[in-house]
Structures are given as C-alpha cells and as structure tokens.
C-alpha cells in the first residue's frame, strides 16, 4: 500500500498506541471505566475480552476453552496457557474467504481498510433490521468505514455468555448500498452482521464479494455516535477465513 508521509506517521502512532492501550475494566453494576492509558492517549479499546464465562459464541460454533498448563499460583515454576477457540470468537474480522469461493484469506486482507477514519452510527434499540430505510436516517455518506452501535451494546450482549438470536443485523439492501458507495470496512457490535436464520448469507456475500472486511463483535457500550480513528488488526492466521482481532478507536474533531 502507498502512503504519504502524513499517513505513514499516523499509522505508526496508531500501531504504537495499540501496545499501550489497556482493556477498559468493568466497575460496579457493570458500568465501564476508562483506563489511565486511554485517558492519556485518547485511544479506547473496543475489543470484547475473550473469556468463556462472558463471551457469547454463535450457535453451533466452536466453544472457547482456556487452560493453564502450568500455573505459578499452584506452585509451578512458571505459568503457561493454552487456548482453544473458533476463528469467529469475540471481536473478529471476516475475510472474503468466509463466503466467497477463492476469496482472500485473513492473512491476505490488506491493512489499508483496517486503519483509518471511521464513523460510529447509533441504531435505536427498537431496530433489529438495519435496512436501507434505517441506514438513510443516519449520516453515513462520505464515511470510509462504518461501525454500527445497536441494541447489542445497549443491552450488554457482548459481555453475556448467552447467545441472543434477536441481535440487530445489516440487511442485504443496506449492505449493497454501503458496498456501492465505496465503504472500505463495515463493523457491528455482535458476533454476526447477518440476520440469524437468514435463508442465504446475502449481507456477507455482498460485502465480502467486494473485498470489504466485516468486523463483528465490537464492544461499543461506552462509545457515542460520531467520527473516530480506527485501528483493527486480526491475528495473522495463514489460509483461514477469519481471526480474532484487537480494535481501538480515538475520537476525532471532524
């Protein structure tokens, strides 16, 4: 990817910030609190913590299993962990390979769509289908990357191990409008952008067919609508269709 010096500097700063941002903890009553690192850098971690006790898993997907093979708390000389989880666990990115035959795997998704300006759109709790009519009620045109904050954030569903079938989803007609407008990335705050039980994965095929990565499972509980800088980077897993990712946002003055 080609970048001018300003763009290069922005990306370096953003990548450096990922190393210093801490996951926001949860205070009493489930309220979110922002870490000292977030206050000093402006970056907010919007990654759902992977934890079998709190992370929802899509119906029929691989369960998460986290083990300590060695544990200093049990008297071992060191601590050693093992993880077992599906590629679509928690906050993750779908690559074209997920629903496009011969589509790019996650390790071949370009970095450019994953880093840059993004717009968070707040969808009312009563709305389950984000269709063209609903999309056009919001200021989305001109945004390079569009993230939807929905009932899933309002209800704390990315911190609930129960799988909720009535999550808000992106309808195929809205997906087509976004793709035709040249949006580079689309994200949502539950573990799928597709309607549960949809007869065909048209939303995924529409976006991924245009090479548009889909970020699912974002933790947007404490995020307000508006313009942000986004960095979301998946694990570099060779030849597979998705991978868990770390995502951070920083409010802009646009």
- Positions marked catalytic: 98
Q: What is the DSSP letter of 123?
A: -
Give the Cα separation of 218 and 195 in Å (integer): 17
d(CA 170, CA 152): 13
Check: CB of residue 214 under 8 Å from CB of residue 191: no
Question: What is d(CA 98, CA 181) in angstroms, rounded to the nearest whole number?
Answer: 22
Which residues, including other chains, have CB under 8 Å from residue 16's CB and lie 6 or more apart?
none
205 three-class SS: helix
SS3 241: coil
CA distance 238 to 34: 34
| Closest CA relative to residue 157, chosen from 215, 202, 220, 209 | 220
Strand partners, 230: 116, 249
Cα separation values, 81 from 47, 72, 84, 104, Å: 21, 11, 10, 31
> Residue 10 corresponds to which tokens in the numbers above?
């922005």
């Amino acid at each position: 990817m080609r970048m001018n010096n300003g763009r290069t500097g922005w990306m370096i700063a953003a990548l450096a910030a990922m190393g210093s941002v801490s996951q926001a903890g949860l205070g009493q009553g489930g309220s979110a609190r922002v870490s000292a690192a977030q206050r000093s850098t402006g970056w907010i971690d919007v990654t759902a913590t992977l934890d079998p006790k709190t992370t929802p898993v899509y119906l029929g997907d691989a369960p998460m299993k986290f083990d300590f093979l060695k544990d200093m708390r049990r008297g071992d000389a060191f601590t050693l962990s093992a993880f077992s989880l599906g590629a679509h666990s928690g906050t993750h990115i779908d690559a074209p390979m997920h629903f496009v035959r011969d589509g790019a795997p996650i390790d071949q998704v370009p970095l450019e769509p994953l880093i840059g300006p993004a717009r968070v759109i707040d969808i009312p709790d009563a709305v389950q289908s984000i269709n063209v009519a609903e999309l056009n009620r919001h200021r989305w045109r001109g945004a390079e990357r569009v993230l939807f904050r929905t009932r899933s954030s309002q209800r704390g569903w990315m911190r609930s191990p129960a799988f909720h079938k009535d999550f808000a989803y992106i309808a195929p007609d809205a997906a087509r409008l976004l793709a035709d407008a040249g949006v580079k990335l689309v994200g949502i705050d539950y573990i799928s952008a597709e309607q549960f039980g949809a007869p065909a994965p048209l939303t995924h095929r529409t976006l991924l067919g245009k090479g548009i990565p889909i970020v699912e499972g974002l933790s947007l509980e404490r995020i307000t609508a508006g313009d942000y800088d986004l960095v979301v980077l998946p694990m570099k897993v060779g030849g597979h269709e998705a991978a868990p990712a770390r995502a951070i946002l920083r409010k802009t003055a646009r």
